[in-house]
Structure 1
């Protein structure tokens, strides 16, 4: 198949899925993202560097026509606005797009949704399918959170994921669809992040490949552990690269970073080296070396009061001593007397080693009694915060900056550290403000949210390579038939 394959990214966010697809040899035709904050990051990395904020605000404004934005490659609007632009859809169809990919919010999806326009939760998946029907790409990727694949057993309903699979099969000329449940850590990202995807090939393409498809969901761990339902990996499913002892850890991801940026280390992990060098990807219109010379982007430290730092040190000490994180909430338990709280704390902390020392060297307490007093003074109901462990992959990166604490330093993680867990290379620069307040979270998509919402590029690359192989095989088969 000559040249690069083409793709469209719907609900593109900051571009994690696009980055992986480009690393797999795909070339962008169009991205659609309604948030001007996430779209700014996408545009800056994939289209051209943004040097004039006023120009970007003008380009991304609601008044700028869909077709004008599409000429640049990024439409900063709702997908429905693209669907209303029939000339653009006709143009995309004429280009014979290879792949349409994206992650429409699907938690409330049902096949009955098209008959119920009142159900807003159904709107976006149906719009995604309407775009697929209009453009008729050779392949489709739909990505979503793993919980979407759970059956609604209480209501005797199929899961939204399976209903979406059935709908894609019937979309346009028809698609053969393989559901998969993938974990990013199996594809080289240092993060435990399970996700579900629907991988579809247009019926004629599927016929040309000879691939077999199943309505059962293939899971990435099946490649090593086996499965009763699958005697072998479905041909369209991505190839697993990491398992068991090969799974990357927090240390692989960020041990080469300190508060100032890059740390000089003699034993740089292969992953850290790849992130520093750009992971075989360069931002659009900007030499990788030029961006590297500016230092490490998006590595701004969050500011914490001293008592918050001490609480972080307590979390780290609890982790190292095997003390449950919920111990920090005992002082806030309104059902306990002061004596009851002290008794519970004594039981939880009596086997810890003293003096109680945090990883940064600060002595927290010299005895269990002294540590109990410290916990009583720092107690909080917010026990979801947890320090990361150097020797394990990161837990699923989320959109809030304060859920995870650095393994050794009493602070939360920077945007860059979170991006490393997702497998974004260091030359990928996040734009807009770093974080936002609770009410504005409904409408704003700052840097931490952009990172947390993204598809890990490493996982996207593996899926992209699998789709690419299928399309190249189909092209070879069709070429033989034609000759």
Structure 2
């Protein structure tokens, strides 16, 4: 089965689908930094390679540019794509910030819909933040159209549009920890099909979680813990050496030594990879910062974001900061590395540790600068941002396996409606 990834980021969802046996055709991503990580690993990678069309340059581009520049070529894809996936940028309707229905970034979801109408893939997956289904709330509503926009969520708008063009829509919110990801990451999914309209794909996905974890040999009765994911990356009793993949000199990393015994989750992350993973650069915290981390650790409840009272007492302006609990999943990994403090070391996490918590395997190499600041934050997508924005590959793999399985069942029942996927 062939897929296209739109708003692909660094390739978390694409990686999951490739691992599930799908064949990648193209990936559209606006950020050059994120696209280069995706290209390096999945388009021209050693383990996976997209079946990239000759007419499409292997370079970053926006969905708008893709539509306007290659409209005739895109029309030729109609009926040839089994699955289209994408997580349109969510800043305009995220509950973490100001929710503005007029935010131009919301238009990206409409561009995604335009692509759907042209290509008409058999299946669709749209992944976004849980606030994607929250209705806008403002005191000032100036006209009737504005009133209509406020009365429904952006997810409602998209689902209504998809239903109008013939798709059967199922949707809902889930926690990625349900699929073995060591992180309480709540996401909103819209899963659509042009085929059997009696199947609720979202409900089927929820019911598939235990079978998926059993297949991956992950614990069924408890979530995967942070310690299971990153304990081999601790720096205690490790020699510190120069970081070899940092564009800025003077940074260190802990010499990597693989443990003799892997946890089931770590076994998935190592995946036969016998080298040290990249992106292990340690932060250069100032003494005052380390002292502040110590105070935060003493003032925090394990696994809970620091309370407002504690933040005020410590003079912190950050809205959220959490000390990890080693025996529990992490909170949602964000694009800001200083949102989370290590469970046993007075530091933020390395990029590789955040990648492990997102379920990226160690062979997957992140490229480009580690962080950025100032005005560049709106323009650049460094490693921490790439990782924080990604769909956990484990969730992507579970969705891919489920769609292949259900497609096989539907094809067996209605052979005239579609081809039988023998691999399933």
Give the TM-score band, short-chain normalised: 0.7 to 0.9
Cα distance, 1:211 vs. partner? 2.1
Which of 248, 259, 263 aligns to 1:269? It is: 263
Which of 186, 209, 225 aligns to 2:178? It is: 186
Which of 240, 254, 263 aligns to 2:209? It is: 240
- Where does the alignment leave 5 or more consecutive residues of structure 1 unmatched? 51-65, 110-117, 219-233, 279-288, 333-378
Kept after mapping to 2: 8 A contact 1:315/1:325: no
CA distance in 2, matches of 1:458, 1:43: 20
**How many pairs does the alignment contain?**
370
- Which has the larger Rg? 1
Kept after mapping to 1: 8 A contact 2:303/2:322: no
Kept after mapping to 1: 8 A contact 2:86/2:126: yes
- Where does the alignment leave 5 or more consecutive residues of structure 2 unmatched? 47-51, 94-101, 139-146, 214-218, 236-253, 420-424
Cα distance, 1:380 vs. partner? 3.8
Cα distance, 1:177 vs. partner? 0.6
CA distance in 1, matches of 2:83, 2:391: 16
Kept after mapping to 1: 8 A contact 2:20/2:400: yes
Which of 69, 77, 80 aligns to 1:92? It is: 77
1:251 and 2:227 correspond: yes
> 1:391 is paired with a residue of what secondary structure?
coil
Evaluate the alpha carbon distance shift between residue 312 and residue 325 of structure 1 in structure 2; reply closer, same or farther with a 3 A threshold: farther
- Give the match for residue 63 of structure 2: 79
- Give the match for residue 38 of structure 1: 34
- Give the match for residue 143 of structure 2: none
- Give the match for residue 28 of structure 1: 24
1:197 and 2:185 correspond: no
| Deviation sequence 1:200-247 (CA, Å, 0-9, x none) | 001xx225xx4257xxxx6xxxxxxxxxxxxxxx34656123698420
> 2:78 is paired with a residue of what secondary structure?
helix
> 1:13 is paired with a residue of what secondary structure?
coil
Cα distance, 1:93 vs. partner? 1.9
Cα distance, 1:251 vs. partner? 0.9
Evaluate the alpha carbon distance shift between residue 177 and residue 413 of structure 1 in structure 2; reply closer, same or farther with a 3 A threshold: same
Evaluate the alpha carbon distance shift between residue 190 and residue 236 of structure 1 in structure 2; reply closer, same or farther with a 3 A threshold: closer
| Deviation sequence 1:395-419 (CA, Å, 0-9, x none) | 0000011111111111110000000
Kept after mapping to 1: 8 A contact 2:28/2:63: yes
CA RMSD between the two structures: 3.0
Kept after mapping to 1: 8 A contact 2:303/2:324: no
1:303 and 2:284 correspond: yes
Kept after mapping to 2: 8 A contact 1:13/1:42: yes
Superposition TM-score, scaled by structure 1 size: 0.70
- Give the match for residue 206 of structure 1: 196
Kept after mapping to 1: 8 A contact 2:225/2:328: yes
Superposition TM-score, scaled by structure 2 size: 0.79
The structure in which a higher percent of residues are helix is 1
Kept after mapping to 2: 8 A contact 1:236/1:470: no
Cα distance, 1:477 vs. partner? 2.9
| Deviation sequence 1:318-364 (CA, Å, 0-9, x none) | 347999655654457xxxxxxxxxxxxxxxxxxxxxxxxxxxxxxxx
1:103 and 2:103 correspond: no
